Each structure stands twice: as C-alpha cells, then as structure tokens.
Structure 1
Amino acid sequence: MARASLPLGAWGTLVINAHPNQPLLGRNMRRLAVPGAIALIALTIWYSELIVAPAPQVGPVHVTYWEKWTGFEGDAMRAVVDAFNRSQSKIHVDLLTISGIEDKTLLATAGGDPPDVAGLYGPNVAQYADDRAILPLDDYCRRYGINASQYIPAYWDIGYYRGHIWALPTTPASTALHYNRQMFRDAGLDPNRPPRTIEEMDADAAKIYRRDAAGHILKAGFMPAEPGWWNWGWGYFFGGRLWDGVSRITANSPENIRAFEWIRSYSVKYGARDLQTFRSGFGNFSSPQNAFLSQQVAMELQGVWMSNFIQMYSPGLDWAAAPFPYPADRPDLKNSTFVDEDVLVIPRGAKHP
C-alpha cells in the first residue's frame, strides 16, 4: 500500500492510498491525483483567505460622527468638521444629523454598529456609563494632555462620573433672565434696571400683564412654565437641592416647597386656565412665533444660545440679560445659574475609537 499525506494545519491532513496490485495506469492516475489534489486544496485555502481578509486601508480613516443639531446650529458644527477635514489628510470625519440621538445611539451600540463619535446631552452621561454603552476617556485624555485644569469645573464635572471621565464638552452653556426692554418701557419700568429679587420680578411682571375686554391674556410679564425646561430645578433658586449628595432625596425640603408655592402663585393670580390658553397660542421655539421673540412674554429664563435665535428670527428685538433673581431674604443666592452642555462620547464597539 502506497500512501501520500499532506498536513494542512487547521484543515486537517490529506491522505491518499494506492494499492500496489492495482493496474499500472490506475497507479499512475493515483500518482497524478496526489499533486493535483494538493494544488487544488492549496488554491482553495488561498482563495478563502482572499475572501475573508479585509482590504488594505486606502486613503484617510473615515470616522462616523452622529450629531443632533439642525439649522444654523448644525451648520456651525459642519463648519468645524469641514475645517478639521481640510486641516489634515489622515482622518476624514463623516458628520450625520440624527434625530432622537440619545435613543438611537443606545440602540446602535446594543446592536453592535455604533458611530465612532456621538454628540449627546450632558444628562445622558451617567445613564450611558452605567449601561456600559460608552468608553471611559481617561487613557485618551492622558495621551493627548487633556485634564480638568483646562475647563471650568462645572463643565468638566458633567462628563466625570464614578471616578472616570466619560465625555468632553462641545457647547457649554449657562442661564440668565432674558427680558424685553421695550415691554419694560411700555409698562413704565426702567429698561436699564432688571429685577434683582424674586419679589421685584413678580411686581414687574404684574405691571406688564395685559388682558383684552374678554379677559384673555394678551401679554405676560413672566411665566414659570415658559419655556418650562427647568421645572425640576426651581428649588435651587430658593436654596433647595433634590438630594443630599449621598443617599437621601430632599425634594420635599422647605426650600423646594417654597419654590413650588411661588410657581403656584402665578396660577392663582392669573388663572391656570387663562395661562394655559395663552400659552397654547405660542409658536415653536425655533421660529419667529417663539413667545419671547414675538413679544408675548417679557421675561424668560434662557441660555446663552438665545442670542443666536434672536439674531436669526427677531434681529430688531430690544432685549438684555441679567442674573436670574433671588429671594429677597436669601442674598447669598445672588448670581445663581444652571449650567449644562452637549458632550462628545465614544460608544462602546466603535470601529475607530
């Protein structure tokens, strides 16, 4: 019995037997079959490797960046991305505008196909970190010399959670009282003297409120529910906190109760239904029918982004901004503000972290 064998690694071993009593032609055919089989299997292995092996990278690495912004805000970020792409040739950022980004990024990450970079909201950081949906950035920050000393602490802290840095800021923001100077003049108020205390703001608002003959509100001085983005946080302007920083919820603290009694006072004074009817006529925030831009509400708690929307939709508006008022008996709360930011994160499973 003649035997030929060829070890093929993970494929096993090829063994071909030839009986010595077989006819000469049969034995010759067997002998020819051995190298032919070897060549065929070698060709098969080579071709299979060719199919599964990734093609070599040609040109720049393409990084996928998901962002939520649209309109002029989206244009501003696209300008940043375009400037980066022009500045070098190794990395090309592909910017995609994604609605509902906080949910879609989480779903894409769970499905194993996330973007390389995602622009989320500050409050998303803790949830994503707890869900192991994003990568800690500590090593990257050390590698590129990024540290807390380069940031205002409040903004750095938004991305810092459970001993790690998970996100870095893109658009840090703070809030202030925005007020309509012309509406102040029309009510006999000094446009250069915004209210400093909560009590002064309530008194100024009362002078600005206007109703028609049927009692419908036409102009409002201030409405706690407009735009209504910080209803959870009014207590902070009165010295309250939502928890003690350790383990106890403090939503029912005297300071928080005082804040919500103040909010209720507007419904009592001006009528909850009347305020709701008046508010139902407001347009979208990003439009000229915005309640502040259309001069329906004289004072609002707003962020630094508001000036961009004023310039876009109501460039002739006579307005100013000042620190949000504090209770007259709590001067220690002067100059309080909310800080927030949009952030960049690297989802877990990103192809180019």
Structure 2
Amino acid sequence: MRRRFLTFAMAATAATALTACTAGKEGAPALGSGPKPSGSASSALPAASIEVWHGFSTPGEVKAFEDAVAGFRAKYPQITVKLVKGVQDDQITQAVRGGKAPDVASSFTTDNVAQWCKSGTFQDLTPVIKQDGIDLSVIPEASRAYTEFDGRRCTMPLLADAYGLYYNKALMKGEQPPKTLSELTELTKKLTVRDADGNIKVAGFIPSFQYYENVPTHFAPTIGAKWYNEDGTSAIGSDPAWKGFLRWQKELVDWYGYDKLNKFRKSLGQEWSADHPFYKGKVAMVLDGEWRNAMIANEAEELDYGTAPFPAADDKPDLYGGGFTSGTVIGVPKGAKNPQAAWELVKYLTTDTQALVTLSNAVRNVPTTKASLEAPGLKKDANFQTFIDIFAHPRTSTIPSSVNSSFNQEAFQEFMNQWEQGSVKDLDAGLAEVDKRINDKLKLSGG
C-alpha cells in the first residue's frame, strides 16, 4: 500500500467531519433490499451502473485494479462499473454527508473504520454476509478485526500490509537476523560504523521514532503491548510492555548519542525514493512493510537482502513470527444508488481467489483470504513469503478499532518523540498524561 505517510493528514480531516451526524442520501435503497443473484446465475441481478472510488493512483496500480474488476465484469456483464482513482478518506466522508456517495468506496487506512461504522457512513454488511452464507473464518482474525467496530461490519478487507525486518546481507557479514530485542541491540552495536569523531557512517538499526516506519502501532504486536482497556480507555500508561520497550529504545538512542543519531537520520535519503538508505548500505536493518520488496526490485535490484519477522520482546519469545498488519478496506457507503450490485462487487473483490491474486501480484500486497494466500498463482519468492507467514501467524495483530484512532496514535507518537530527545524526565508521569489526553478525547466523542 505504501500509504501510511498519507494516513494522519487525511484522517484528521475525515475525523473532524465524522464527529457530526452522517447525512447521506435520503430515500436511497438499503443494502440487501434489492434482488439477489442465485448461485452463479448472473441474470438474477438486474442491469445497473455503479461508481467505485478507490485510492490507487499510479498507472500500474490503476491497471491492476482494472484487471481485478475485469472478472466481475465478465461475470455480470449487465453491471456497468465506473472506476474513479486517487480518492482519499475525507472525499468519501464529505460525499456521503453531501448526499453524493459512490456505490463502492475503498480506503488505504483502517483508522477511520470505527467512525464510519459507528456513524453509518458505510452500511452494515452483516445481513448480506449472512444472507449469502459467507464464512468469514476464511479471513485471518486480524483482518476481520480492523474491518468492523462494536459488532458492526461496515467494510471488508481487500489487501493487507504486514511488517517485518529487512536486512542487508553484505552488511550482516554472515550474522543471522535477531529474534529478540536484546539480540537486536547487540547486533546493532556490532554492525554500526563510526568515523574518528564518532559520527555515524553506517547504522546497524535506527531506533528513532522519527524514522520512517518506526511508529508505535508497528512495534506493539511484537512486544505484546496493549492500547486500550476493555472500556475503551487508554492502557498505554499502565501496561509494563510499553514502559519496557521505551526504556530499551532510549538506551539504544543514548548509545548512539541523540544528536549524532538525529544528524545521521536527517542526512539520509527519502523513504519513498531510490535514495532510501537501506538501498545505499547506510542502514543494515530496517522495519518495513511487504511492499518494500517490490520497491527494491524496481529501484535497487542488485541489493542482496533478506527478510524476517521483527524481533520480539525478550520476555515474550512466543510473539516472534507475528507482527503488525492493516490494509485496504472496501465497503458500500450510505446513499449508494445501487447497493445490491455494489455489494456483489465488494464480495467478489474480497472473496474471489483469482481477483485477490491478480491484485496482489500487481501491487505486491498480501491477499486476505486463506485460499488466496495458498493459491499456486500467487507470486511469492522467499522474501515475500516472509510477510505471508507473518500475516498468517496467530500472534499477528492490529491496533484495536477506536473512534479516535488517529488522534490516539498521534498523541502517543508526540510523546515518544519527546522521550527519545530526553525531554521526558518522569516516564510514568509522561505516560499518564498520554492516557489523560486520549481519555479526555474519548469523553468528547461520547465514549
């Protein structure tokens, strides 16, 4: 997906709009109220035209989505499908509230799913899923979790991201990838190269929370950290896993020296360019998503690298092998003109093995059903297989749904940045303040 860098900016706008009641188009047919196709008989579904909004924008991605939809068009030739590319979450929300919703919409982020489900911006798919006899157990639990909220399933998973460790084999010099944070620390120190003045020339691993994919959501599953209590309030300050991880991170930052590490970080190439420091041999190990494999093939094909799960907390070795996952979601917005035809497309794209394999092979994200993960036509070399295994691992998880997901992540991220800079003198008090900010926001949201 490669879209995390868009998430906070777009979600902030969408969250503001979602705090108000969703308007939608009055009088629009409800999902499940129209004729239903029976078995494989396409003629059971009447002729209709549906508009589909999606976030894919590059020529290759747009073609991939077109190719995935082609199978649906062949199955239902009486359904005209109009695809609109490059759409973001705030545009979807505003269109629904303005009574101009598309029939189908997808999003690259899961951060707005809770609000969309709660507000009714997206229609509840539960009745038609039951009506059509879809067995949701074919979808891994983590993906089921990030596509619903409070018992209301308003989206389905399309493709997924999984996060793991990339390592430069030449810089590793025969070392095996670490499996625990202690091993990561030891190897980081061993692989780091400095000049005579102590400036960093090559970093074994960059622990900074200001570096690329090093955000709290991506680390949480491998350290067993909790985000929320059962009542939805923040568990960050009371969970010892977060404290242990933050202390581990700060010790490694201090070993580098914050100023030297920050100077080195700022000298590096951009994450989304051919100058990525991992390509250039400036960083030996990085946390990243499965899409990086495709980017390396396009931008640094000579790079000799390997992939592995990200190291687990020392006291929770059973978590090794899992990781963080999220992904593209798709659903039927409120006010869709042809909701039954829209649902058939959503069902097709999210449960048809060939459609998922076609899309996965083109954009190099993980498909989201067990059958598609095992499909013989799925392209998977050893480095991509790592992420399929991580995605399917029973300990892989996602951030639990919350109506304030983006705010909560930003609040914690801000604190983590202050922590690594040495601005936080009392860890417990600082985390308690993060809890307060999150809980105060929850109260304002009616939680």
TM-score clears 0.5 = yes
Query: Contact between 2:48 and 2:78, CA under 8 Å: does it hold in 1?
Result: yes
- TM norm structure 1: 0.75
For 1:239 and 1:157, the matched residues in 2 are separated by 17
Matched with 1:294 is 280
Matched with 2:77 is 89
For 2:320 and 2:143, the matched residues in 1 are separated by 20
Matched with 1:284 is 270
Query: Contact between 1:235 and 1:259, CA under 8 Å: does it hold in 2?
Result: no
Q: Report the AA paired with residue 201 of structure 1.
A: L
Q: Given the alignment, which residue of 326, 332, 341 partners 2:327?
A: 341
Query: Contact between 1:235 and 1:260, CA under 8 Å: does it hold in 2?
Result: no
Displacement of 1:174 in angstroms is 2.0
Against the structure 1 CA distance between its residues 229 and 196, is the aligned structure 2 distance closer, same or farther, given a 3 Å change threshold? closer
Which is worse superposed, 225-234 or 266-275?
A: 225-234
Matched with 2:315 is 329
Q: Report the AA paired with residue 120 of structure 2.
A: R
Against the structure 1 CA distance between its residues 281 and 345, is the aligned structure 2 distance closer, same or farther, given a 3 Å change threshold? farther
Q: Given the alignment, which residue of 200, 216, 237 partners 2:199?
A: 216
Establish whether residue 107 from structure 1 lines up as the match of residue 63 from structure 2. Answer: no
Q: Report the AA paired with residue 246 of structure 2.
A: F
Matched with 1:33 is none
For 1:281 and 1:62, the matched residues in 2 are separated by 51
Aligned residues: 289
For 2:234 and 2:244, the matched residues in 1 are separated by 17
- TM norm structure 2: 0.60
Establish whether residue 239 from structure 1 lines up as the match of residue 231 from structure 2. Answer: no
Against the structure 1 CA distance between its residues 74 and 270, is the aligned structure 2 distance closer, same or farther, given a 3 Å change threshold? farther
Matched with 2:410 is none
Matched with 2:242 is 256
Against the structure 1 CA distance between its residues 144 and 313, is the aligned structure 2 distance closer, same or farther, given a 3 Å change threshold? farther
Q: Report the AA paired with residue 314 of structure 2.
A: A
Q: Report the AA paired with residue 187 of structure 2.
A: D
Displacement of 1:84 in angstroms is 3.2
Q: Report the AA paired with residue 290 of structure 2.
A: V
Displacement of 1:152 in angstroms is 1.4
Query: Contact between 1:234 and 1:260, CA under 8 Å: does it hold in 2?
Result: no
Q: Report the AA paired with residue 265 of structure 1.
A: E
For 1:352 and 1:178, the matched residues in 2 are separated by 44
Matched with 1:174 is 162
For 2:199 and 2:214, the matched residues in 1 are separated by 25
Matched with 1:64 is 51
Against the structure 1 CA distance between its residues 284 and 260, is the aligned structure 2 distance closer, same or farther, given a 3 Å change threshold? same
Displacement of 1:347 in angstroms is 1.2
Matched with 2:379 is none
Query: Contact between 1:64 and 1:94, CA under 8 Å: does it hold in 2?
Result: yes
SS in 1 for 2:301: coil
Against the structure 1 CA distance between its residues 313 and 134, is the aligned structure 2 distance closer, same or farther, given a 3 Å change threshold? same
Against the structure 1 CA distance between its residues 61 and 127, is the aligned structure 2 distance closer, same or farther, given a 3 Å change threshold? same
Query: Contact between 2:117 and 2:153, CA under 8 Å: does it hold in 1?
Result: no
Query: Contact between 2:219 and 2:324, CA under 8 Å: does it hold in 1?
Result: no
For 1:301 and 1:273, the matched residues in 2 are separated by 22
For 1:254 and 1:232, the matched residues in 2 are separated by 16
SS in 1 for 2:99: coil
Displacement of 1:298 in angstroms is 1.6
Displacement of 1:320 in angstroms is 1.3
Displacement of 1:241 in angstroms is 0.8
Matched with 2:177 is 194
Against the structure 1 CA distance between its residues 316 and 334, is the aligned structure 2 distance closer, same or farther, given a 3 Å change threshold? same
For 1:274 and 1:184, the matched residues in 2 are separated by 22
Establish whether residue 133 from structure 1 lines up as the match of residue 116 from structure 2. Answer: no
Against the structure 1 CA distance between its residues 293 and 345, is the aligned structure 2 distance closer, same or farther, given a 3 Å change threshold? farther
Matched with 1:119 is 106
Against the structure 1 CA distance between its residues 233 and 308, is the aligned structure 2 distance closer, same or farther, given a 3 Å change threshold? closer
Displacement of 1:93 in angstroms is 2.0
**Greater relative CO (CA pairs within 8 A, separation 6+):** 2
Query: Contact between 1:221 and 1:299, CA under 8 Å: does it hold in 2?
Result: yes
Query: Contact between 2:217 and 2:324, CA under 8 Å: does it hold in 1?
Result: no
Query: Contact between 1:236 and 1:256, CA under 8 Å: does it hold in 2?
Result: no
For 2:67 and 2:282, the matched residues in 1 are separated by 34
Post-superposition CA distance 1:93-124 (Å, at most 9, x none) = 2222225x111111111111122111112222
Structure having the larger proportion of residues in strand: 1
Establish whether residue 75 from structure 1 lines up as the match of residue 63 from structure 2. Answer: yes
Structure 2 segments unaligned to the other structure (5+ residues)? 1-45, 340-447
Query: Contact between 2:147 and 2:154, CA under 8 Å: does it hold in 1?
Result: yes
Post-superposition CA distance 1:117-148 (Å, at most 9, x none) = 11112222101112221100112223333231
Against the structure 1 CA distance between its residues 247 and 66, is the aligned structure 2 distance closer, same or farther, given a 3 Å change threshold? closer
Q: Which has the larger radius of gyration?
A: 1
For 1:255 and 1:107, the matched residues in 2 are separated by 39
Matched with 1:143 is 131
Structure having the larger proportion of residues in helix: 2
For 1:301 and 1:230, the matched residues in 2 are separated by 10
Matched with 1:184 is 172
Displacement of 1:214 in angstroms is 4.8
Displacement of 1:167 in angstroms is 0.8
For 1:177 and 1:308, the matched residues in 2 are separated by 15
Aligned-pair identity (%): 27
Matched with 2:306 is 320
